[in-house]
Structure 1
Amino acid sequence: MKFSEIGLSEETLSALNDLGFEKPTQIQEEAIPQLLETERDLVGLAQTGTGKTASFGLPMIEKVDFNKSHVQALVIAPTRELCVQISKDIQDFAKYHKNAKVATIYGGASIDKQAREIKRGAQIVSATPGRLIDMIKRRLVNLKDVEIVVLDEADEMLNMGFKEDIDSILDGTPEDKSVWLFSATMPKDVAKIAKTYMENPIEITVGSKNSSNENITHEYYCVQNRNRYYALKRVLDINPNIYGLVFCRTKRETQEVADKLMRDGYNAEPLHGDLSQMQRDKVMEKFRDKTLQILVATDVAARGIDVDDITHVINYNLPDDIENYTHRSGRTARAGKHGVSLVFVTPKEVYRIKQVEKVIQKKFSLEEVPSGEDICREQLFALVDNIKRIEIKEDQIDDYLPTIMELFEDYSKEELIKRFVGAEFNKFLEYYERSGDLNADPKGKDEGRGRDRGRDRDGGRGRDRGRGRGKGRDDNKERFFVNLGLSAGLNKGAIVRLVCNETGISSADIGRIDLFNEFSFFDADPQHKDVILDRGANMDYDGKRMKIELAGKGGGGKSKGKRGGKDRSRGGDQPTGKRRSGGKKGGRRKGRK
């Protein structure tokens, strides 16, 4: 089937032709005709990289009336990068539709500029939840006439703590809108959103739920924690032409790994939330242009990466939420190509490979960390191949050749080849001549059989285990105090998102959350106490200083502060004002035809 056969307008087909799109992917082929023909809701489950943006973007363009100048379609995405990518794609699809305007709304950029995009008559909005809610509260965005709402990467939005934000946004939209939900996995929370806000939706699943792309090879390497970075270097060295992503758990670990790689001469840069939007844009531009070979990223920052030809996805650590592995691995093997997704685990973490296999419904192969000898051989032949393929600019070197030939006249062909190859290759021979065996026994019977020169400080956190969130206080959890509350606009989703993003712990390790006017409390596993206190000592929430401390015996923070001090002196977890109502969210439509 071709795009010309599924009911798209000539304007849209012309844009697709400019983009070189001829045949729809499976999710596009199944979703687009149904969305064009009906007003029904839709749940689409497909892996990252299968073309979900076009699946909802193309029918959306056909349904929007571009002669009107109010918001008719809304796409909600979890990150700035993904939000911008979606907006760009929709603009490309709609380039031949007269008066088509797309607004992009996300944090970290000028809210005034984004408000102007709305005022100029944008019919389609691509937004992240936090900034969208802010603009709704300021009455800069009106969703009363929205006809289509798309929840893209719905599972990831819930993982990031956006549940309450999504509820709030959907509650402010018309009851008779169409809701299109797209996700790579279908956890219980996503199913709950579908049940709450959708009526008898069309369900499309490409592959099995949560399964991995058939074109991805899954591998794991068993190493000791102290050897994790050295094993990463060896994998990079054995693949000289790698174009890959390295995933780390936290922003700090991401920066540390990227710094080490750059220090050791690799073409690598970090991508994480502590970088400014301008820095992130520059890094992504270099990665898309392929002038950057290795991108070291957090899960959150990488959500907007839509790049073809990525050869390897490297999990420096497995994600705390195993379902995130599906998102990570989906960055490779796009557009029918093949790719490799590999993981470094310690002997104590090997059991988690089985857990991932169960989720993605694919088997991992245990691979040996390459030896120094293997790497040197691979690098040597890669060097020879590059020399053979190099383009010679003869007109620029002809004048120098007589002198060069004279300087080399006493050397044989064999000696010249050795010298030129050695000039580039000696560094690998020198580095790996004393290298050890980095492989550890997956059964945990040894402590690893060696390491590369020197020892590096490991940035990983090992295995995190925790209980899910409960309704009551859990005596096995540690109680933490937050100096901001409802009056600062804080909600439960924001607390989960900020704490997990800053510390790298899983949302499953966060327990009960209590919100009051001037302060808040949350429970977390005691094993994470030190990192929460360290990273939470000086945070920022919507321009306000946010501080996390251990809760005192009376329920307040251990240290005194100006903000919320009066409330804490009262001794218990009691609010100073009325608590925001938490009844069941509305928004489920009734009477849809």
Structure 2
Amino acid sequence: MITFEETGLSPEVLKAINELGYVNPTPIQEKTIPELKDGTNDVVALAQTGTGKTAAFSLPIIERVDCNNKNVQVLVLCPTRELALQITKDIIAYSKYISDLYITAVYGGADISKQMRELKKGSQIVVGTPGRVNDLCKRGVLKLDKLNYLVLDEADEMLNMGFKEELDSIISNTPDTRQSLLFSATMPKEIESMANRYLSNPVQLKVGKQNAGATTVDHIFYMVHAKDRYLALKRIADINPDIYGIVFCRTRHETKEVAEKLMADGYNADALHGDLSQAQRDQVMHRFRSRHLQILVATDVAARGIDVNDLSHVINYNLPDDIEAYTHRSGRTGRAGKTGTSIAIVHTKESSKIREIERISGIKFKREMVPSGAEICTRQLFHLVDRVENVEINHEQIDSFLPQIIEKLSGFDREDLIKRFVSVEFNRFISYYEGSKDLNVYKKDIVQDRPGRRGNEKFGRLYINVGKAHGLTAQRLMGIVNENTDKKKVSFGKIEILRNFTFFEVDEGGQKMVISALKGVKFESEKLHVEPATAKPPKRNQRKKFDNNNNNNSRSDNRRRR
């Protein structure tokens, strides 16, 4: 293992990173820094979340910036404002001893006029999200004709978020002589196509097995009925009194709902999602980073750019549809040489997802039983005893009150006093978990529901007003139905997902229940509407026209949100 001194970085950069505690480069840094420091080739770098990609590209690049030239020489594009702010903060720290180097972050959800003023003053490095960068380019404020370096960070996520058009527009404003760097955790066909389109004969740097999970993370799953998912989450939090982690949900609606429930139940939690203003996001993240929050409930997109090295847990309230998303999530714990735990709360119809993650990523899950009330009470009791044993006593303040306290409690013996002090903190757990039920699902309870007709079952066809454009998949559709119905045995038949709407079959006896259960439920901010489908779907040309109209509206809405 080499040290940063052996990479050949400048004394100014070495001094800054030494103050940050950097000693040895991570594998992706060890490969990337020499390539960028002395080379001119385009680069595709593949590495998982949390492996130090920001330092890998920024440390060598900041040395090559001409600080006497106020033109934009480096553009870093990333999917979210949180990540843009984090990258900017890191680059500022790395360039602490480089004079006259200016970095500006530009992103949606913030005052564009302030960002425009910063750019007009002159910045050699701009870090931004595609929507805002494209907007500033079109206004003529952000000029990229002198650009030397283009960095596409979290490229796979930018494509997943639908930024292809913005990327095309931005890159068309850059010179062909630029050096382009593409960083991604995964290499699907879309990223290969992106590399072929934007890069010229790139060198590929790869660290670790693609889609592999971090070796410092333990992977655990609990199996419960869908309706017991929140109760299981509470028990996970209670069995881990010192938990400091992120709970991942699929949608903004679910994120808000889970966070509100946790806060109402007395947990130190808050939510991070796309509906928050930048000021609200900053406030939540400040509280989380300073550990005033123990639990942050977030969507995948909102959590991009969260850079916290000492998370104890990542909890998948719902498993994501993509394997890559699971490795992204789990990679947020077990960082910086520490160990962590990634937990999945799985309902009865998701066991196949666990097997798929294991097969593709090489991760091995361990199934554990949701802790009982008695186990939680025992853990909490001894956690309290440990706190009492290790608490720092402020003698100067306490001693003055001690005579009155002793007099007040003189009627109790030692054992009675211990019981009373413990009960002050502990009674709520005993009361809550008294007679609590077993949340675990056992083999005999699992019903193997698979799409398609079985035996003599009859199915009814339903219409729902969301489709591929909203991120709907067969698994997510079944999950929505399962989570919003009390019935455990909703049988699905054929599922036909179109661009803006979907047809799906459920057993005839469950049709009315499904329609009623999904009424008013939101999916990705879209209020769901379910009704019996007509005998035939719209004709092909009518469907295409309908899809195009809705697609145009969807794009317009997306741009407004950015």
TM class by shorter chain equals 0.7 to 0.9
The residue identity in structure 2 corresponding to 1:125 is V
Of the structure 1 ranges 80-89 and 14-23, higher mean CA displacement relative to structure 2 is found in 14-23
**1:227/1:478 Cα in 2 relative to 1: closer, same or farther (>3 Å)?**
closer
Query: Which residue does 1:440 correspond to in 2?
Result: 441
- Following superposition, the deviation at residue 304 of structure 1 comes to 1.5
**1:148/1:236 Cα in 2 relative to 1: closer, same or farther (>3 Å)?**
same
8 A contact 2:497–2:503 mirrored in 1 = no
- Following superposition, the deviation at residue 537 of structure 1 comes to 12
Query: Which residue does 1:321 correspond to in 2?
Result: 322
Is residue 502 of structure 2 the alignment partner of residue 525 of structure 1? yes
**1:60/1:433 Cα in 2 relative to 1: closer, same or farther (>3 Å)?**
same
The residue identity in structure 2 corresponding to 1:251 is R
**1:348/1:505 Cα in 2 relative to 1: closer, same or farther (>3 Å)?**
closer
Query: Which residue does 1:294 correspond to in 2?
Result: 295
Classify the secondary structure of the residue corresponding to 2:400: helix
The runs of 5 or more residues in structure 2 that have no matched partner are 453-460, 478-494, 506-513, 527-532, 550-562
Supply the distance in 1 between the matched residues of 2:33 and 2:181 (Cα, whole angstroms): 11
Query: Which residue does 2:113 correspond to in 1?
Result: 112
Classify the secondary structure of the residue corresponding to 2:440: coil
Query: Which residue does 1:77 correspond to in 2?
Result: 78
Is residue 274 of structure 2 the alignment partner of residue 273 of structure 1? yes
The residue identity in structure 2 corresponding to 1:241 is D
Supply the distance in 2 between the matched residues of 1:464 and 1:423 (Cα, whole angstroms): 52
**1:537/1:286 Cα in 2 relative to 1: closer, same or farther (>3 Å)?**
closer
Q: Percent identity?
A: 50
Query: Which residue does 2:98 correspond to in 1?
Result: 97
- Following superposition, the deviation at residue 111 of structure 1 comes to 0.7
8 A contact 1:148–1:177 mirrored in 2 = yes
**1:441/1:164 Cα in 2 relative to 1: closer, same or farther (>3 Å)?**
farther
Q: Deviations over 1:342-364 (max 9, x none)?
A: 10111111101011112321111
Query: Which residue does 1:160 correspond to in 2?
Result: 161
**1:524/1:56 Cα in 2 relative to 1: closer, same or farther (>3 Å)?**
farther
Query: Which residue does 1:64 correspond to in 2?
Result: 65
Q: Name the structure with the higher helix share.
A: 2
The residue identity in structure 1 corresponding to 2:19 is D
Aligned residues: 508
The residue identity in structure 2 corresponding to 1:44 is A
What is the correspondence of 1:453-472 to structure 2 with a 5 Å cutoff?
none
- Following superposition, the deviation at residue 511 of structure 1 comes to 7.2
Supply the distance in 2 between the matched residues of 1:463 and 1:92 (Cα, whole angstroms): 53
Query: Which residue does 2:186 correspond to in 1?
Result: 185
8 A contact 1:347–1:443 mirrored in 2 = no
**1:190/1:63 Cα in 2 relative to 1: closer, same or farther (>3 Å)?**
same
What is the correspondence of 1:17-56 to structure 2 with a 5 Å cutoff?
17-56=18-57
TM-score with structure 1 setting the length: 0.79
Q: Deviations over 1:444-468 (max 9, x none)?
A: 4379xxxxxxxxxxxxxx9999xxx
- Following superposition, the deviation at residue 183 of structure 1 comes to 1.3
What is the correspondence of 1:248-263 to structure 2 with a 5 Å cutoff?
248-263=249-264
**1:338/1:396 Cα in 2 relative to 1: closer, same or farther (>3 Å)?**
same
**1:261/1:358 Cα in 2 relative to 1: closer, same or farther (>3 Å)?**
same
**1:265/1:533 Cα in 2 relative to 1: closer, same or farther (>3 Å)?**
closer
Q: Deviations over 1:274-326 (max 9, x none)?
A: 11111111000010111110000011100020011100000000112232111
Q: Deviations over 1:144-166 (max 9, x none)?
A: 11111111111111111122222
Supply the distance in 2 between the matched residues of 1:366 and 1:30 (Cα, whole angstroms): 37
8 A contact 2:251–2:524 mirrored in 1 = no
**1:463/1:198 Cα in 2 relative to 1: closer, same or farther (>3 Å)?**
farther
8 A contact 1:346–1:442 mirrored in 2 = no
8 A contact 1:464–1:505 mirrored in 2 = no
Query: Which residue does 1:429 correspond to in 2?
Result: 430
8 A contact 2:465–2:500 mirrored in 1 = yes
Classify the secondary structure of the residue corresponding to 1:71: coil
The residue identity in structure 1 corresponding to 2:411 is D
Classify the secondary structure of the residue corresponding to 2:127: strand
Supply the distance in 1 between the matched residues of 2:496 and 2:59 (Cα, whole angstroms): 39
- Following superposition, the deviation at residue 442 of structure 1 comes to 5.1
What is the correspondence of 1:41-440 to structure 2 with a 5 Å cutoff?
41-440=42-441
Q: Deviations over 1:423-461 (max 9, x none)?
A: 1011111111111110012574379xxxxxxxxxxxxxx
The residue identity in structure 2 corresponding to 1:145 is K
8 A contact 2:466–2:501 mirrored in 1 = no
The residue identity in structure 1 corresponding to 2:400 is D
The residue identity in structure 2 corresponding to 1:526 is F
**1:111/1:426 Cα in 2 relative to 1: closer, same or farther (>3 Å)?**
same
The residue identity in structure 2 corresponding to 1:376 is C
The residue identity in structure 2 corresponding to 1:307 is V
Supply the distance in 2 between the matched residues of 1:76 and 1:477 (Cα, whole angstroms): 42
**1:463/1:260 Cα in 2 relative to 1: closer, same or farther (>3 Å)?**
farther
Classify the secondary structure of the residue corresponding to 1:126: strand
8 A contact 2:219–2:366 mirrored in 1 = yes
Supply the distance in 2 between the matched residues of 1:538 and 1:353 (Cα, whole angstroms): 28
Classify the secondary structure of the residue corresponding to 1:134: helix
The residue identity in structure 2 corresponding to 1:435 is S
Classify the secondary structure of the residue corresponding to 2:401: helix
8 A contact 2:225–2:347 mirrored in 1 = yes
**1:44/1:256 Cα in 2 relative to 1: closer, same or farther (>3 Å)?**
same
Supply the distance in 2 between the matched residues of 1:177 and 1:510 (Cα, whole angstroms): 45
Supply the distance in 1 between the matched residues of 2:303 and 2:386 (Cα, whole angstroms): 32
TM-score with structure 2 setting the length: 0.83
Classify the secondary structure of the residue corresponding to 2:248: strand
Query: Which residue does 1:584 correspond to in 2?
Result: none
- Following superposition, the deviation at residue 526 of structure 1 comes to 3.2
**1:511/1:97 Cα in 2 relative to 1: closer, same or farther (>3 Å)?**
farther
- Following superposition, the deviation at residue 534 of structure 1 comes to 6.9
**1:76/1:288 Cα in 2 relative to 1: closer, same or farther (>3 Å)?**
same
Supply the distance in 2 between the matched residues of 1:153 and 1:196 (Cα, whole angstroms): 17
- Following superposition, the deviation at residue 538 of structure 1 comes to 8.8
Structure 1 segments of 4+ aligned residues over 4 angstroms from their partners: 462-465, 476-482, 509-512, 527-539, 552-558, 571-575
- Following superposition, the deviation at residue 525 of structure 1 comes to 2.9
- Following superposition, the deviation at residue 413 of structure 1 comes to 1.5
8 A contact 2:239–2:376 mirrored in 1 = yes
Supply the distance in 2 between the matched residues of 1:463 and 1:231 (Cα, whole angstroms): 25
Supply the distance in 2 between the matched residues of 1:108 and 1:221 (Cα, whole angstroms): 38
Query: Which residue does 1:563 correspond to in 2?
Result: none
Of the structure 1 ranges 197-206 and 112-121, higher mean CA displacement relative to structure 2 is found in 197-206
Classify the secondary structure of the residue corresponding to 1:526: strand
Supply the distance in 2 between the matched residues of 1:180 and 1:463 (Cα, whole angstroms): 43
Query: Which residue does 1:487 correspond to in 2?
Result: none
- Following superposition, the deviation at residue 170 of structure 1 comes to 1.9
- Following superposition, the deviation at residue 375 of structure 1 comes to 0.6
Supply the distance in 1 between the matched residues of 2:361 and 2:246 (Cα, whole angstroms): 19
Q: Deviations over 1:218-237 (max 9, x none)?
A: 11111001110000000100
* RMSD, aligned CA: 3.5
- Following superposition, the deviation at residue 199 of structure 1 comes to 2.5
Classify the secondary structure of the residue corresponding to 1:340: strand
**1:372/1:151 Cα in 2 relative to 1: closer, same or farther (>3 Å)?**
same
8 A contact 2:73–2:125 mirrored in 1 = yes
8 A contact 2:224–2:347 mirrored in 1 = yes
Supply the distance in 2 between the matched residues of 1:131 and 1:280 (Cα, whole angstroms): 18
8 A contact 1:262–1:269 mirrored in 2 = yes
8 A contact 1:347–1:441 mirrored in 2 = no
- Following superposition, the deviation at residue 370 of structure 1 comes to 0.5
- Following superposition, the deviation at residue 331 of structure 1 comes to 0.8
**1:166/1:537 Cα in 2 relative to 1: closer, same or farther (>3 Å)?**
closer
**1:368/1:428 Cα in 2 relative to 1: closer, same or farther (>3 Å)?**
same
Supply the distance in 2 between the matched residues of 1:235 and 1:535 (Cα, whole angstroms): 27
Supply the distance in 2 between the matched residues of 1:574 and 1:315 (Cα, whole angstroms): 35
Supply the distance in 1 between the matched residues of 2:205 and 2:189 (Cα, whole angstroms): 17
- Following superposition, the deviation at residue 524 of structure 1 comes to 3.9
Query: Which residue does 2:491 correspond to in 1?
Result: none
